[in-house]
């Protein structure tokens, strides 16, 4: 069964003014869709056809560099689908409940977490992602380059921000720190993070 582009979990204009409908049109409709098309072309008539996205990622990750193109496209399909769910209209700010308790316990405070997360996102050289992950029962902030993702390193993703330029360039030009700050202050879907934390 072919992979499909999942719909956005909100209307294209739902995240304005922090992420424009135009950005989502390109980012979801063009970039994300291209990864889906490429992945289908790369896995068609192979032993990976019919496997789940997670299975394809793990099998390709175990056979690098031979399966690098498959890994790159599969991971980017997963990363983007996850990223869309990390945002919501009227989101951001401090979390509450279990997520707030875990952040306070593992980072010392929300402010320390936010500072570490922003630092990871801003200092990722070139293209990549900043993540809040569960690693061996502890919350950590990590960054990955290009299509790399926590799953390939035995970690569980809880939250991510996309710092490839196409994620923010139409709205923020070269001001990546402003985009990351807007993500933290206005967009983070803490309910989604709580679901991932389980």
In this predicted model, what pLDDT tens digit does every residue of 64-89 receive, in sequence order? 999 999 999 999 999 999 999 999 99
Helix (H) or strand (E) holding 156: strand 156-162
SS (H, E, C) 105-134: HHHCCHHHHHHHHHHHHHHCCCCEEEEEEE
Percent with pLDDT over 90 in the chain: 99
Cα radius of gyration rounded to whole Å, the chain: 16
Sequence ranges of the chain with CATH classification 3.55.40.20:
97-197
Query: In the structure encoding, which two tokens stand for residue 51, read together?
Result: 């496997």
- State the residue for tokens 């293209």: 127
Q: What is the mean pLDDT of the chain?
A: 97
Interaxial angle between packed helices 97-107 and 110-123, expressed in degrees from 0 to 180 and rounded to the nearest 10: 80
Architecture (CATH level 2) of domain 97-197:
3-Layer(bab) Sandwich (3.55)
Please state the CATH superfamily assignment of the domain spanning residues 21-85 in this structure.
Fe,Mn superoxide dismutase (SOD) domain (1.10.287.990)
Residues 122-146, mean pLDDT to the nearest whole number: 97
Give the pLDDT of residue 102. 98
- Do 19 and 171 contact (CB within 8 A), yes or no? yes
Where are the CATH 1.10.287.990 domain residues in the chain? 21-85
The answer to whether the Cα torsion of 13, 175, 80, 109 is positive or negative is negative
**Number of Cα atoms under 13 Å in the Cβ half of residue 14:** 14
Q: What is the mean pLDDT of residues 128-133?
A: 98
Using one digit for the tens of pLDDT, what is the confidence trace for 33-76?
999 999 999 999 999 999 999 999 999 999 999 999 999 999 99
Q: What is the predicted pLDDT for the residue at 144?
A: 98
Give the pLDDT band (50/70/90) at residue 131: very high
Question: In the prediction, which pLDDT does 1 show?
Answer: 67
């Amino acid at each position: 069964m072919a992979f499909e582009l999942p719909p956005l979990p909100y209307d294209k204009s739902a995240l304005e003014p922090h992420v424009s409908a135009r950005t989502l049109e390109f980012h979801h409709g063009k970039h994300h869709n291209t990864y889906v098309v490429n992945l289908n072309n790369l896995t068609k008539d192979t032993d990976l056809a019919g496997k789940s996205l997670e299975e394809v990622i793990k099998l390709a990750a175990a056979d690098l560099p031979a399966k690098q193109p498959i890994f790159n496209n599969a991971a980017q399909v997963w990363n983007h689908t996850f990223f869309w769910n990390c945002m919501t209209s009227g989101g951001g700010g401090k979390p509450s409940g279990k997520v707030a308790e875990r952040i306070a316990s593992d980072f010392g405070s929300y402010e320390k977490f936010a500072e570490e997360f922003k630092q990871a996102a801003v200092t990722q050289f070139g293209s990549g992602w900043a993540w809040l992950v569960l690693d061996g029962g502890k919350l950590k902030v990590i960054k990955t380059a290009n299509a790399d993702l926590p799953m390939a390193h035995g970690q569980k993703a809880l939250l991510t921000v996309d710092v490839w330029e196409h994620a923010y360039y139409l709205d923020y030009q070269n001001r990546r720190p402003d985009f990351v700050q807007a993500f933290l202050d206005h967009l983070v879907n803490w309910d989604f993070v709580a679901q991932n934390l389980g």
